[in-house]
Amino acid sequence: MQLREILRIKGNLLVSIAPDGMLSDGVSIMSEKDIGSLVVMNQGRLVGMLTFREVLQALHKTKGSIQGMRVDSIMVKNPRSIAPDVEVDELRSVMLQHHIRYMPVTEGDTLVGVLSFHDVARAVLEEQAFENACSRAISRTRQRNRAALGISRRKFLALSGALALGAGGLAVWRYCRSRVSSIPAAPRCQKSLPSTGWCALHGTA
C-alpha cells in the first residue's frame, strides 16, 4: 500500500502554524483539535514540525513555563519528509529507525499531508484484515470447486498450482483434467511447484 492511498482515506487536511507564532498558541491548537503535531509553514513552504515531544522538552527545560516562547525556538527545523509513492512498510521502517512519530509527505516542493505512526499502524492492520478476508474467501471457493469436481485435495492442489503458472497454466490444467481420474503414482517430479510442493502434471509429492 502506497502512502498516497492512506492519505486519500485519511484526508489531506493540514493544521499549520507560523514559525514566529507563540508556542502557547500551538499547544492550544493541538489540544483543541486533538492532534499531536503541527506543520510549521513560512510563505507556503514547510520549514519545521512541532510535536508534543518538543513541547514536553520545552516544559521540562523551563520548569513548566512556555510563556513568551516562539514556535521556531523549539521546532524541528527542515524535517525529514517522504514521497507519496513510497510503500507503507518503508515508511514504518524509517519512522522506527529515526524515532519519528509524524512524517510530512511531500511531492516535489509541495506538502501533501502528514502521516503519524498511528496512521501507519491502522493502515497495516486494515491491509492485513483485507488480505485475511480474501484468503478465507479463496479457501471457501477452492473447497466448493474441489467438492464440485469430486477429486482429492492432492489432485486439486495440482490443478490449482498449474493454473498459477500463468499463460501456460490453462494448457497444463486441460492435460491434468483429462487424466484426473487416472493420474498414476509417479516418483517426485523435478519440476514441482514451489508454492504447493505438488507436481503439476502428476499430482504427486
Q: What does the pLDDT average to over 184-188?
A: 41
pLDDT of 176 > 70? The answer is no
Q: 119: closest CA among 30, 11, 16, 17?
A: 11
What is the pLDDT of the chain when averaged over all its residues? 77
Any idea where the domains of the chain sit in the sequence?
3-122, 151-205
Residue 75 per-residue DSSP state:
S
The pLDDT tens digits of the residues spanning 123-156 come to 777 766 666 777 777 777 766 666 666 666 666 6
Comparison of pLDDT for 184 and 45, the residue scoring more: 45
Q: Which residue has the higher pLDDT, 49 or 200?
A: 49
Beta-carbon count within 10 A of 45 CB: 10
76 three-class SS:
strand
**What's residue 84's pLDDT?**
93
Reported as a pLDDT band with limits 50, 70 and 90, residue 169 is low
Least confident of 16-20, 40-44, 116-120: 116-120
pLDDT of residue 186: 40
- Which fold, 3-122? CBS-domain (3.10.580)
